[in-house]
């Protein structure tokens, strides 16, 4: 194992409210310090940003600098899972822009801060906030094994019969990787007329698989459409 990414979502009060776990802030910081001592190639912190912790980023940044983690990965709250029942946790257009500008400014200062792999961000920000251009690698370069043995792509993707490709308790993983995953190896934009007609389709191919609505065959979040 070369890289470890640990979730830390804000200062103590916010993190423990968000994770519903008293004492989890200190335990997470202690775990990060322990990992830093083990010589991993990269110890990363991932932070999910909501309207409630957007103003705390500098406070958390100081904590991470003191620990001296290798990188900080930020992403706005996504409309997936339980967040679908809590729309107040999603960033507004202006809040999303504040987050992207914050990351851009930190990178210009030389800090290893990056936006997560999620979404085509448009020409203005795409290479300003991360090291690569957007490409959803779910099912093409990324696979996951769930706690129950299910084989899927990105673990954030909604777990449905069509997104689960097999199970390591009954299937050979290599065979599954080589011969299944077709749902992820065809651009999502081919399933949605709106995406297919978008002038940015050549860059995003329908966007991230984890925010795709597999019932309606459309993207739940599109920075071009929603901004």
pLDDT tens digits for range 208-227: 999 999 999 999 999 888 87
pLDDT of residue 225: 86
pLDDT value, residue 84: 94
Q: What is the pLDDT of residue 52?
A: 96
Confidence at residue 74, expressed as pLDDT on a 0 to 100 scale: 98
Rounded Cα distance, 34 and 105, in Å: 29
- How much is the pTM? 0.92
Would you say the C-alpha torsion 80, 81, 86, 91 has a positive or negative sign? negative
H-helix or E-strand spanning residue 195: helix 193-196
Phi/psi of residue 4, nearest 5 degrees: -130, 130
Query: What is the C-alpha separation between 98 and 2, in angstroms, rounded?
Result: 32
**What DSSP designation does 142 have?**
B
The pLDDT value recorded for residue 171 is 98
CB neighbours of 172 closer than 8 A, spacing ≥ 6? none
Which residue's structure tokens are 């329908």?
206
Q: Which residues of the chain have pLDDT under 50?
A: none
Would you state the pLDDT for residue 2?
Answer: 83
């Amino acid at each position: 194992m070369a890289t470890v990414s640990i979730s830390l979502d804000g200062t103590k009060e916010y993190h423990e409210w968000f994770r519903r776990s008293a004492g989890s802030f200190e335990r997470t910081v202690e775990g990060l310090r322990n990992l830093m001592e083990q010589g991993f190639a990269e110890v990363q912190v991932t932070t999910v940003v909501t309207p409630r912790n957007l103003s705390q980023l500098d406070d958390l940044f100081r904590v991470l600098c003191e620990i001296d983690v290798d990188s900080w990965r930020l992403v706005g709250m996504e409309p997936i899972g339980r967040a679908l029942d809590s729309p107040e946790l999603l960033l507004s257009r202006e809040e999303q822009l504040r987050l992207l500008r914050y990351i851009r400014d930190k990178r210009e200062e030389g800090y290893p801060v990056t936006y997560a792999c999620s979404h085509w961000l448009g020409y203005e920000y795409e290479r300003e906030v991360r090291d690569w251009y957007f490409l959803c690698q779910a099912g093409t370069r990324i696979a996951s094994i769930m706690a129950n043995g299910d084989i899927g792509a990105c673990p954030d993707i909604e777990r449905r019969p069509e997104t689960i490709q097999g199970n390591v308790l009954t299937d050979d993983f290599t065979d599954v990787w080589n011969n299944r995953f077709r749902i992820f190896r065809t651009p999502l934009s081919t399933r949605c007329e709106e995406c297919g007609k978008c002038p940015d389709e050549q860059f995003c191919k329908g966007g991230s698989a984890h925010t795709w609505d597999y019932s309606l065959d459309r993207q739940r979040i599109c920075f071009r459409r929603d901004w």
